[in-house]
Structures are given as structure tokens and as C-alpha cells.
Chain A
């Protein structure tokens, strides 16, 4: 029995809604840090429930379609991809929550230094999430590849941030507690980019039927 296109559209819409909420969570979590806005940080933690609910909704819908429609070919690839994507989106949101929690702690202490690279990483990560979901919706393989390539930028920024923080810590041990928390945040953003990369790889499978995970970039 074919999966109706309305059912696939509905699934796409739910994922899109989830992705938009997740993207906002990344943005707000970093904003709550940069602008020292603890109310905003608490809202990010609260909003995570919505994302969890959407995650369960997508999973239930996918399982229903698998059981009742027994999809094949492209539909099968679409539905299994949807399930994987929501898992990654949910993890991204968890990382945003972690950022917000660290922001809540950091906002209680004096500012260590102005945040420059962290907002930059956040913008790249948000862009990766947005583009990877666009690639999913539009079955755009090239955009997925672009996202995968962008992961290196975040990795490099993360390295830079860590080095800088280590330098600060060696200079003044009273900064350690704050510097470690900021380094976590940098790591969370780096993880977010990894999850976006996972999604991009899954999208390429959906379009091509080719599994490219664990391949070198030049093999893709």
C-alpha cells in the first residue's frame, strides 16, 4: 500500500517545525550567555520539552507508516531518514540546554572576557542545522555536502577557543571555573555541528541510497 504524499508532507512539516525550534534553541542559548540573560536561558531549558514531544511524535508517525504501509524504495529511505534526523535534532537541543545551563552558572559570575568566537560558532552551527534541514526537505545532495564541509570550520574554532582559554587559565588560576565552563560551551557547539553533519550524511543516503557515513570527504 503506498504511503500517501499527504502523510509524507505531514512528516516533513513536523520535522521542519522541530528543526526551527531547535535552531532557535541554539540561538537563544548562546544569546543568553552573551547578553547575560538568565531568563532567556531558563526559557531554553523549558522549551526543550516541546522538542522532546515533537521527537516522539515523529517517531510514532514513522513507526505507524512502517507498520501499516510497509514502504519501499524512496519512501522507506525517507521514513528511516526522518527517524534518524529527529534523533540528531533532539541531541542538538540537549546540547543547547547544556549551553543554557552553563550560561545560568556563568551569568552569576563576573564576565571572563567578551565572547567573540562562541557567537561565531553558534552562527555557523545554526546555519548548518538550517541548511541540512533544507537539504532534507528539498532532497538537495549538494547542500548536504556543503554542510559536511563546514564542520571543519567549527572544529578549528573550537581548537582556537580551547587554546585561548588554556592560556587564560595558566595566567590566572581564579579563572579556571569559568574558563572550563566556557570550554564546555565550545565543545557543545562543536557537538551540535557533528549532529548537523550526521543529518547531512543521512540526507545523502535518502537521495542516493548510498551510505556515506565513516567515509573521507574526498570519497563522498
Chain B
């Protein structure tokens, strides 16, 4: 594995293993996550990329018989976020996830974004108003919804709903944003808006994205990790992975001669 120039790490997986009961889904994963960069995880279905992404905000804790081994260190705190002593709720406040299909709450646009703040105990209306506006602006949605903040979120189009979910994720000021195929349910125009947004967001936050669309990974990520059967086969600068990867397996995958 060629990690080339390391700038500043936001997180790092160290000998990470994950088991669904008896199924060994992730095997000795070592991966740096660069601060304020976009890291893409690519690989065929079932390779473990979503499983890996979900480790970052402890989604697996929701189900019994799941086991983590190894570490995911969050910097600069040097905290192992998968350690049982760490509260998963606190992890999810700092590391938010945007899913494949937009999943707004059955509430107003405003309340969707305010939700995380209220859970956190923020009560002042002015503070919440400001955060809601900032988050909606951050998700490039403010201009489209500022006059109808109290309409139901379901009134929005698919692409707008997805940006609302991004605004909701941004509201708690996360340190890492996780995207699990965030545009697979969107049309090309909504997709390109989300892609532009992701590129802008990296000025503020570190991003990890799982995508099946290799062109998308090539367009928006700085680093790419290719995974296969629960392992990282190759990790490098995105440009390198998509023009001249080191591994034959990566080459076969990105040229579509595979599986």
C-alpha cells in the first residue's frame, strides 16, 4: 500500500476487524483519513465498504452479535471511537451519516435541521435559528427553502431532501461526514449539485464516501481506497488509482474486467 504524501490525519483505522456474528466482514483494515479531504471507498458489492463506513459512527452497535476489533482513532483527540467506553451517541454527534435514499423526518424543514440541536439540549430559539440557516446554507439549500421553512420536508424534491439530510448532518457541527452512496437515488442534475456540495464541504469537514459510481469517486475524492472481500487492496491519491493503479486487482475492477 502506497500512502504517498500524508498531510494531516483526521482519523485512522488500525488493524480494524469487524464480525457480524461468525462472518468476518472486515479484515485487518489500516487506512488513514486525511483531514478536510474526501476519501472514497470503492469496491464490488459485498466487499465491506459500507460495513467499514458504518464503523465510523458506530452504526453496528444497534445490532447484537456484532464485534469490533482494532481501533479507529479520531485526531487530534487520539480517541478510539470504537472502544466500548465511548458513548456511540456522542460519536454520532461528531461523525454524521448521509444515506443512500433521502430520509428526512416526518417534520418540517426547519425541525429536521433543528432536531440534532434539540437532542443535544440547545433550547435558545435564536441559536437554533442561526444554526438552521447556517446548515441550510452549508447544504446549498437555503435559497430554495427560506420562504417555506415550516413546510413538511416531504414537499421537497428528492435532491432537495438529500441536501436537507446533509444540512441536518451539518447542524451538529460534525468533524467527519459519512456518505453512503448519497446520489444513487438522484437524477444527474441533483447528483451534480450534491457532488459540488461535497467538494465545497471539505473546506470545513472531513468526508468519507462510499460510492458504486467510479466516475463519481474520480470526480470528487482526493484519496481512494479499493476494497475487496473485506480488505483494503490499494489506497492512494485518486488520480493515481484511476490512471495507473499499482494493483492488478484494482486495475481489473476500475476497467470493469472483474467479477
Contact = CB atoms under 8 A, between A and B. Distances in A.
A162 interface: no
B1 to A, nearest CB: 17
Interface stretch (B27-35, B187-195, B242-250): B242-250
B215 A3 contact: no
A70 B254 CA distance: 10
Contacts of A208: 244
B68 to A, nearest CB: 33
Q: How large is the interface on B (under 10, 10 to 19, 20 to 34, 35 or more residues)?
A: 10 to 19
B243 A76 contact: yes
Which among B215, B242, B256, B257 has the greatest number of chain A C-beta atoms within 10 A?
A: B256
B255 A71 contact: yes
B255 A70 contact: no
A73 B243 contact: yes
Contact of B255 (A72, A209, A210): A72
Which among A73, A74, A209 has the greatest number of chain B C-beta atoms within 10 A?
A: A73
A1 interface: yes
B222 interface: no
Contact of A77 (B214, B244, B250, B257): B244
Nearest to A211: B244
A2 B243 contact: no
Contacts of A73: 242-245, 250-251, 254-255
A75 interface: yes
Interface in A206-220: 208-210
Contacts of B245: 73
Q: Could you tell me the dominant secondary structure of chain A's interface residues?
A: loop
A2 B251 contact: no
Contacts of A71: 255
B25 interface: no
Contacts of A74: 251, 255
Contacts, number: 33
A136 B8 CA distance: 41
Contacts of A209: 243-244
Nearest to A205: B244
Interface in A1-29: 1-3
Contacts of B215: 70
B259 to A, nearest CB: 11
Q: How large is the interface on A (under 10, 10 to 19, 20 to 34, 35 or more residues)?
A: 10 to 19
Contacts of A76: 242-243
A2 B244 contact: no
A2 B242 contact: no
A19 B245 CA distance: 30
A72 B257 contact: no
B53 interface: no
Interface string A82-111: 000000000000000000000000000000
B218 interface: yes
Nearest to B214: A72
A76 B254 CA distance: 10
Contact of B243 (A1, A3, A70, A77): A77
B242 A72 contact: yes
Interface string A61-76: 0000000001111111
A11 to B, nearest CB: 15
B96 to A, nearest CB: 30
Interface in B229-249: 242-245
Which among B214, B245, B250, B254 has the greatest number of chain A C-beta atoms within 10 A?
A: B254
Interface of A: 1-3, 70-77, 208-210
Interface of B: 214-215, 218, 242-245, 250-251, 254-257
Q: Can you list the 4 inter-chain pairs with the closest CB atoms, starting with the nearest?
A: A209-B244, A2-B256, A72-B254, A73-B254
16 contacts: A2-B255, A2-B256, A2-B257, A3-B256, A70-B215, A71-B255, A72-B214, A72-B254, A72-B255, A73-B242, A73-B254, A74-B251, A74-B255, A208-B244, A209-B243, A210-B244
